Every structure is written in structure tokens, then in C-alpha cells.
Amino acid sequence: MAKGARKKYHKVGFLPFSVSVRVPERSKILEAVQMAGLPLHTPCGGEGTCGNCIVKITKGTFGAKATAALSGQLIAEGYALACQTKITDDLMIVLPHFQELTIESVVSPEFCKDNKDHISGVYEHNPAVVMTELQVVSPTLTNSTSDLRRLEQAFQKKTGIKNVTCPYSVLSKLALALRSKNGSVYVVSFQEREDATILDVFPRSGEKKIYGLAGDIGTTTVALHLVDMGNGEIVGTATSLNQQIKCGEDVISRINYAQKPGHLQEIQKLVIHTINNLIHAATQKAGVSKEDIYCAAFAGNTTMGHLLLKLDPHYIREEPYVPTFNDLAFIPANELGLSMNPEAKIYLSPSVGSYVGGDITAGMLCTPILRSSQKISLFIDAGTNGELVVGNKDWLITCACSAGPAFEGGGIKCGMPASEGAIETIELNDRGQVKCKVIGEIDAKGLCGSGLVDLLAELFIHGFIDRYGKFTAEKIPDRIVETDEGKAFLLVDASKSFWGKDICITERDITNLIRTKGAVFSACSLLLKSVGLRFDEIDSFYIAGGFGQHLDVENAVRIGLLPDLERKQFRYIGNSSLLGSYLILLSDKNRKMVQKIARQMTYIELNTEPGYMNEFTGSLFLPHTDMELFPSVGRILARREQGKRE
């Protein structure tokens, strides 16, 4: 550069973060990403070979040339490799994982009604936040009662509620609201027993709807339903990765991250941004104003709850593992910085303790466990952390295990959440040929949880991997490819995949999946033993978690994730934390039930149970070191051997 010439800078923005940085001309996109503090894994070390750092450029010009890791067609569609592309223009960039923000337009609340026999928290539309039409008497010289008092009187008369509180923010709108339409107003109120708080008041003109949010604040994924509080209809759903993921993939890393000065503020902002982005997306799509959201029910594990409230999660991971709170009163939205009406009431599903959180208590509402004293059920949520509950109406015990994010696509070379482009079911034939189903009408991008379960089971049952999870390569030499992470089984050829690169599973991925399923199974087994129960005494087995819509129970048993019970005893209930939040949002009775569930649960610490390591080690095989536990799998393997001999 000529002496004295000014260095040229470009502005690079990142979606969906609302983050932007200024970087010198000809910096690489990867450098801008790192400067912005955003997550982007580059296993090949920035050599342009692994293709993991693919980004989409939605604004600005750039130059890129087709390579093995990036097809010409993808370049034409605006994709580039961050490690190879130099910045010569102002750019707006979407990072790969964050493209997974999905919006479903209208989901029916019929699901809950249809499933009412299966869930304890009955679908009921009786929310604490309601909108009421009121006719408030106009003042005269002989009745000069204050605006507030006249409103209270009209409200009391209509609802029968005696104690009415009107916060300061509403007071400032009152005079005008009461006078605009001769005292005809809509009042939004939060009602609890004999008390009501007025959240908003406005003149009655046209139709007016109020909305609520049900949310699952997962360590990996955050999912929201936008709900019409008038009829319970879900008018939008939005899901994305939790932006906190850049601070670590599991709760322990997040807790550690939060310890450094300023980090607690930062990590809270990341989850608030995540939620606000989802609110933005869902309300835009549904044509709803954020100001019309007056309530929310969120569920998340105990650490997520603490970070959402900017509470130091330090003591959660320190003996005696005591959280700051388990159950809280409603929190005003404005204290958290959430994009909704400032007076909106936020409820967090209660935790049981440091390692069994509100996602589990909310999830329990979606099971019928609390309906029977006779039958014993088991509930398992296999998210990044696995949590289990066993019991019935009269007793409940619970434990947690560190499963890892493998079934949510985390830590797996071609893993991804269960969203558009994810392979959700897989079948192999004897020659290793693949038949798979992808979510959405596009080419495959990667593998979600249910696809990984299928793949592991099919590889094992067809003998393409052994009981240790190692490739028996001689059988299918043409399906085994070499990658930068070692040998891999090829599922989708680069030419047929969305990103233009091979979709495959490595031996390392398989080991990872086996550890995860082993952690879950051994926890189930140990929890039952701790109360003197056997698997065959369990009546029903409820499975929740981020596997995706199509978890195949048969395959889950074949890999030893689930015990070898009758298949009809299993029920996959999906994201029960989100569904439970929805039930809580719409019914104060369900809110009280979830509080009761939290109080009733007894927490068992597995690590201190004798035999923990034995159980876990025994589970690190397909399906298990003790084949007698999996007779049906034994029969299949026997048939396979017999078929080979024939």
C-alpha cells in the first residue's frame, strides 16, 4: 500500500445476530467471524478442504471459485467458504447453523385435545392473562370519581375480582383510553385467585387479539410457539440454535464461561437475543405486533433458567449443588429485556434441583404418569443432558445423566438439528445401499437424531459395524470413504447433497453416539435398581428430546438406547418441554400442577450410586455387553448369521 494511502474498511453484518464488525479490505470472512466472536468450526484448519465454514452471503459482492468443498451451483446461490473468501465489499452474512431458523405457519392445538388421555396436564383454555371488554361509566360533575377508580369498579363488576392493581405504565394511558370511545375499552389483565393486575387498557375499536409465548430454552436449541391467547391457537413456531452455543456446548462449559468478568451479562444477552430473534421471526410471519404479547411460559434446565435471569450459575456445579431458585413468581418482561409488552408476565417452569430443571417438570405434564397409582411409567428426555423420571401419581424419582448433544446433531461431523434438510429416517440394504427421507423438499444437508439412531442400528444389524462400533470394512468397501477425521460410511454423495459435500458418518461419530446411548441406558437401569424395580415392571416408557419427528423405537432398542420391552410400551412425545410450556401458558391449573410435580419429585444422584461405572461400561457396546438384556436383538443377529450360512 502506498505510504499515506488510507486503509479501506468494510462493514460485515451477521444474521441472525444483529452483530456487525468493521474489517480491513481483503480480510477473510473467517477473520470477521472471529472478530465478531461468533462460532464457526474449521476442522481442516482453514485450508478450504472440509467445507464446514460454508456461509451464505445475502448482501454484497464477493469472489469465489468452485472447489471440491464448494460447488459452482452453491456459489451461484450465494454460498462461500469463510476461510477462503476475501472481503472486498460490505457484506451481510448468514452463518451455517443459524440458517436453521424455521417458521411453521399454523400448527393446530388439536394435538393436545386429541392426546388428552395421554397427558396429565389436560389441555384446557383457562389462562391467567385474559382480555376483557369493559364499559366504564363516564364522569360527571356529580360523579367525579377518578379514572382509575371507575375502571376498577367496572372491572370488579364484570369479573367479580376484588383486589385490582394497576401498574404505573398503564396509569399513564388511562385518561385518554377512557375518553376515546366514551369509556368503551379493552382491558388486559393477569388474574390469580382474588387478585388481578391490569396489564393494559385501550379504547375498543376493531378487533383486538392478545398473544402469549410458549418456549423451550434448550442448551442447544430454543423453540417458541406464538399463541393466540383468545382461543389457544398456535399461530407460529420458530426454532433456532441457542446463541450461547459459542460459549460452550454443554451446561458445564456455559457455567465456566459465565465466571469471567462481564461474561454473565454477555451470556444472558445471547439467550435473550436468541429469543428476541425468534419472537421477531414468528410475529413478522404471523403479522402480530410484539406489544400484543402479554405472557410467556418458558421451560429450560436449571442452568438455562439461571442464565436467562443473569443469575450466577456457579453454585449449580459446586457441592452441594444448590441453585438460587427452583420456583419463581412471574417476572415482568421488561426486567429481562424481552421483545414483548413491557408488562408481560413471564413464568418459568419450576426446577427440582441443579440437574433436573423446568424442561423436565413441564415435560411431565405431557405424560399420563400422574393419572395412575397402579401403573409405573418412565419418562426420559434425551437432550444434551439426559434426565429420567420414574413413578406414578403417588411417587416420583428423578435423576440426570450427562448424555452429550450427539442426538441433537452436536459433535457429529454431519450432525444437525431436526430441521429442513435433515435426514430423519434411514434404511440400508445388505449391500450398504442407502434409502433415506429428508425433512423438507430439498437435498440433504446432514443427519438429525432419529436419522442417526436409524443409521447406527442399520449399520449394526447389517453387520457393517461390530459391537464396538468399528467398521467391518471388508463387507462394503465401496461405501467406506477416507475423510480428514478418518474412515467414514458414505450416505449421500457430494453431488447429491445440498452443500455439495459428502454426508457420512465417521467411526469417531459412532463412538460418540454409543457413549451417549450408553449414558442414557445405564442411567435408566441404575435409577430403577435404586428403587428395586426391573424394566419389565415398567408399564409405559415416554421418550422426549430433540431426535426429530420420526424416532424409530425398534432401531432405538437395536442399538441399546432403549430397553428391550414390547414396542407398544414406548411412546415418543417429541419436545415435551415446549408442549408442556404451551399447556402451562393456557391454563393456570396446569401451572399449579407443574409446581406440584416439582415439589413431589425426589432427586437421586447417580454418580454416588454404587455400580455406576460398571453399568456405564456395560452399555458401551451394541446393544449391551449383557445380550440377555436384549433378547429380541439377539434373535435378529442370530437370524442374520443363519441367513449368511444359508
Task: List contacts with a second copy (CB under 8 A).
Answer: 139-141, 144-149, 165-166, 168-169, 171-172, 174-176, 179, 309-312, 314-315, 319-329, 331-332, 335-336, 351, 353-354, 603, 605
Q: Compute the distance between CA of residue 581 and CA of residue 297 in angstroms, rounded to an integer.
A: 5
At its nearest, how many Å lie between a second copy and the CB of residue 415? 34
Q: Is 532 helix (H, G, I), strand (E, B) or coil?
A: coil
Q: Which is nearer to a second copy, 311 or 414 (CB)?
A: 311
At its nearest, how many Å lie between a second copy and the CB of residue 20? 30
Alpha helices in 29-133 (DSSP H): 29-35, 72-76, 110-114
- Which candidate, 524, 535, 568, 589, places its Cα nearest to that of 120? 589
Q: Which is nearer to a second copy, 612 or 621 (CB)?
A: 612
At its nearest, how many Å lie between a second copy and the CB of residue 135? 17
Beta bridge partners of 348: 298
Q: Which is nearer to a second copy, 94 or 201 (CB)?
A: 201
Rounded to whole angstroms, what are the CA distances from 367 to 112, 143, 386, 585? 11, 55, 17, 17
- What are the φ/ψ torsions at residue 634 (nearest 5 degrees)? -55, -45
The secondary element (H helix, E strand) that includes residue 380 is strand 377-382
The secondary element (H helix, E strand) that includes residue 615 is helix 612-618
DSSP state letter for 99: G
- Which candidate, 376, 379, 380, 374, places its Cα nearest to that of 391? 376
At its nearest, how many Å lie between a second copy and the CB of residue 164? 10
At its nearest, how many Å lie between a second copy and the CB of residue 608? 8
- Which candidate, 351, 455, 348, places its Cα nearest to that of 406? 455
Q: Is the alpha carbon torsion for 590, 593, 595, 597 positive or negative?
A: negative
Longest dimension (CA), the chain: 103
The answer to whether the peptide bond before residue 96 is cis (omega within 30 degrees of 0) is no
Under 8 Å between Cβ of 213 and 296: yes
Q: Compute the distance between CA of residue 24 and CA of residue 74 in angstroms, rounded to an integer.
A: 26
At its nearest, how many Å lie between a second copy and the CB of residue 65? 52
Grid cell locating 473: 470394512
Q: Residue 214: CA atoms inside 13 Å, Cβ hemisphere, count?
A: 29
What's at 126, amino acid-wise? N
Q: Compute the distance between CA of residue 534 and CA of residue 142 in angstroms, rounded to an integer.
A: 78
Q: Which is nearer to a second copy, 140 or 642 (CB)?
A: 140
At its nearest, how many Å lie between a second copy and the CB of residue 168? 5
At its nearest, how many Å lie between a second copy and the CB of residue 321? 6
Beta bridge partners of 57: 93
Give the residue carrying C-alpha cell 450410586.
Answer: 609
DSSP state letter for 267: H
Q: Which is nearer to a second copy, 150 or 290 (CB)?
A: 150
- What are the φ/ψ torsions at residue 10 (nearest 5 degrees)? -130, 150
At its nearest, how many Å lie between a second copy and the CB of residue 421? 39
Q: Which is nearer to a second copy, 61 or 142 (CB)?
A: 142
Q: Which is nearer to a second copy, 168 or 568 (CB)?
A: 168
Q: Which is nearer to a second copy, 15 or 309 (CB)?
A: 309
Q: Which is nearer to a second copy, 48 or 183 (CB)?
A: 183
Alpha helices in 287-422 (DSSP H): 302-308, 333-336, 358-364
At its nearest, how many Å lie between a second copy and the CB of residue 323? 5
Q: Which is nearer to a second copy, 77 or 605 (CB)?
A: 605
- Which candidate, 128, 115, 270, 232, places its Cα nearest to that of 190? 128
Q: Which is nearer to a second copy, 136 or 436 (CB)?
A: 136
Kindly provide the residue ranges of all beta strands, DSSP E only, lying in 431-539, ordered along the sequence. 434-438, 446-447, 480-483, 486-492, 503-506
At its nearest, how many Å lie between a second copy and the CB of residue 327? 8
At its nearest, how many Å lie between a second copy and the CB of residue 326? 4
Q: Which is nearer to a second copy, 332 or 634 (CB)?
A: 332
- Which candidate, 636, 645, 643, 644, places its Cα nearest to that of 460? 636
Q: Which is nearer to a second copy, 325 or 535 (CB)?
A: 325
At its nearest, how many Å lie between a second copy and the CB of residue 137? 11
Length of the chain: 646
Grid cell locating 222: 430454543
